[in-house]
Amino acid sequence: MPKRKVAVAVSGGVDSSAAALLLKEAAYEVLGIHMRLWESPRLDYQAHRAENICRILGIPYHQVDLQREFESHVVDYFCQEYQQGRTPNPCVACNQHIKFGLLLDKALSLGADYLATGHYAKVEHSRDGHRLLKAADTGRDQSYFLYTLTQEKLGHVLFPLGEHSRDEVKQMAKQAGLPTATKSSQDICFISQKNYGAFLSQRFSTLPGDVIDTQGKKLGQHRGIAFYTIGQRHGLGLASGKPLYVIRIEPEHNRIVLGPEKELSSQKLTAQKLSWISGKAPREPITARAKIRYKSKEAEAILFPRDDSMDVHFTQPQKAVTPGQAIVFYNVDEVLGGGIIDSVEIGA
């Protein structure tokens, strides 16, 4: 029986390197594939690291240039969302369109049966279908970013790190002589040091506008709505005797609304652009656990399906629910699906 062939997305970091190592040890026929995504001083350096890792592991190295597609599907989307007063999640978009879209297609065109990445998540394959599960290392679990995966794509995806802790991964990379044992990924790969403001100001012009309180009283002026997000307290440029937070962003009026912390809470939201791992959306209300951002805790909620959206009612109030962010639904360790937060009912 011929060996199963797997292409590993090799970034030059410890996680993808360890994924390739584990698959080679599991007797897969492994090849490395590196994506050139964003023009930066580190672009060639990262490619060199990825190629060196493949050399150490004794596997073929391939490179694919996806800079134009990355610009369109991820960077442009990121900027457009901020212009509309929303806070996007570019990692979700990258996984959907780039890694498990164009890169998966490339891997299959090279004759691979699977594409593997260094994500901390698990896929359970069976004749009845494929399930996406949380990683064993719950502190590193990245299943939140993968809810757009379909049954067809999951049939060609492997996550070798799903059963391992980050410490184990770093140790195995070190023992294998890989030069990546202490290298970590950045939060957003095309923005250094999370300097969103400077990046956005280079991409489009911004107009100042009014900052008001929830009663409509003018408090000052903002620099442009793209520089603010729901729940933000610092960097507002206002002197106030009490803490104020961004409660709402109104792009149609070019206006920022501030209020006290208690007005940040909400129990109802509407999500759109839904994706379900099983391929089947619920037709009746269901109870699930939901995450409104990657670092938030799961919260119990009832999901009420509509024609092309989902109303989500939380059992307990949630703080700073933010339009543009992904909301992901779980049943214990299984990812059911998710969508993009479209609107929020404050104070509900």
Q: Are 64 and 93 in contact (CB under 8 A)?
A: no
Structure tokens at 238: 């206002």
DSSP string, 246-263: EEEEETTTTEEEEE-GGG
Active-site pick, 54, 79, 91, 94: 94
Nearest to 79 by CA among 192, 198, 204: 204
State phi, psi for 252 to the nearest 5 degrees.
-65, -25
Structure tokens at 200: 């956005």
Can you say how many angstroms the Cα of residue 129 is from the centroid of all Cα atoms in its chain? Answer: 24
Can you say how many angstroms the Cα of residue 162 is from the centroid of all Cα atoms in its chain? Answer: 17
By the 10 Å C-beta count (0-12 exposed, 13-18 middle, 19+ buried), 74 is classed as buried
Q: Are 180 and 14 in contact (CB under 8 A)?
A: yes
Antiparallel, parallel or unpaired: β 209-213 and 255-259 = parallel
Query: 109 CB contacts (<8 Å, ≥6 apart)?
Result: none
What are the helix (H) ranges across 98-162? 104-109, 151-154
Quick one: DSSP state of residue 58?
T
Q: Are 124 and 18 in contact (CB under 8 A)?
A: no
79 catalytic? Reply is no
DSSP string, 250-305: ETTTTEEEEE-GGGGEEEEEEEEEEEETTS---SS-EEEEEESSTTSPPEEEEEEE
Structure tokens at 183: 């290298």
Active-site pick, 54, 79, 91, 189: 189
94 catalytic? Reply is yes
State phi, psi for 38 to the nearest 5 degrees.
-145, 125
- Catalytic center residues: 94, 189
